[in-house]
Amino acid sequence: MRIETCHFCSSNIYPGHGIAFIRNDAKTFRFCRSKCHKAFKMKKNPKKVRWTGAFRRSHGKELLHDSTFDFERKQNRPVRYDRELYAKTINAMKRIQEIRLRRERLHYKQRILANKRILRDRVLAKQAKKQSLERQFLAELDEADFEAPLAIKDKRTTVERAKQSSHKHKTDEKMKAAKPKAPKMKK
Ligand SMILES: [Zn+2]
């Protein structure tokens, strides 16, 4: 009995779990759950599916080259029972697991920190751009300071003009309404 790895998502398959597919050339494919089995039947490429180990490994999200992986080796040759050897290997397994976990955590931390640094740089660049734009706007305002009162004057006059003109228009309309087609008829 051994812990197999899923052909699709490369997670562990414990005895009594998952499903095995044996191709007509006698190659076995083991799957941890129906999700992986279905994905395999749909001929999905595990390197292109984001939740698989293959994707994570090919995109630098997992620890790849490490000396702790060298201990994991498939061995089909039976080993004669030796109590001391068993005790030693079990102790070694625990210790190796500890070391690997520590290294993986460090790897994740460094990866996330690098991403955070990139994000921070982007935000800072955005802020700097905004500030420079604001400064430019203020400088332009300062330059336009002399013309400001004139502009306001103009505005007032235009508003007044508009009011007057609208009043005129209204009166004209009223006049038109009061005098329908009588003058034209006379012509
Ligand atoms: Zn799986």
**Cα-to-centroid distance, 15 and ligand 1 (Å):** 14
Is it the case that residue 183 has pLDDT exceeding 70?
A: no
Q: Give CATH for domain 1-59.
A: 2.30.170.20
Residue range 66-95: mean pLDDT, rounded: 87
**Distance of CA 110 to CAs 50, 65, 99, 103, 127, Å?**
21, 16, 17, 11, 26
Alpha carbons within 13 angstroms on the beta-carbon side of residue 44 total: 19
What is the per-residue pLDDT across 106-135, written as a single tens digit (0 to 9) for each?
Answer: 999 999 999 999 999 999 999 999 999 999
**Cα-to-centroid distance, 30 and ligand 1 (Å):** 8
Three-point CA angle 32, 33, 39, nearest 5°: 105
**Cα-to-centroid distance, 147 and ligand 1 (Å):** 73
Residues whose Cβ atom is located within 5 A of ion ligand 1: 6, 8-9, 32, 36
Provide the pLDDT for residue 32.
Answer: 96
Q: Tell me if the pTM is above 0.95.
A: no
Residue with tokens 């191709």: 23
**Cα-to-centroid distance, 145 and ligand 1 (Å):** 70
What is the per-residue pLDDT across 5-57, written as a single tens digit (0 to 9) for each?
Answer: 999 999 999 999 999 999 999 999 999 999 999 999 999 999 999 999 999 98
* Mode of pairing for the β-strands spanning 12-13 and 4-5: antiparallel
Count Cβ atoms below 10 Å from residue 79 Cβ, excluding itself: 9
> Residue 160 class from Cβ within 10 Å (0-12 exposed, 13-18 middle, 19+ buried)?
exposed
121, 122, 124, 144: which is closest to 132 by C-alpha? Answer: 124
Is it the case that residue 155 has pLDDT exceeding 60?
A: no
Q: Quote the CA–CA distance of 40 and 6 in Å, as a whole number.
A: 11
Q: At 72, is the pLDDT very low, low, confident or very high (cuts 50, 70, 90)?
A: confident
Q: Quote the CA–CA distance of 170 and 175 in Å, as a whole number.
A: 9
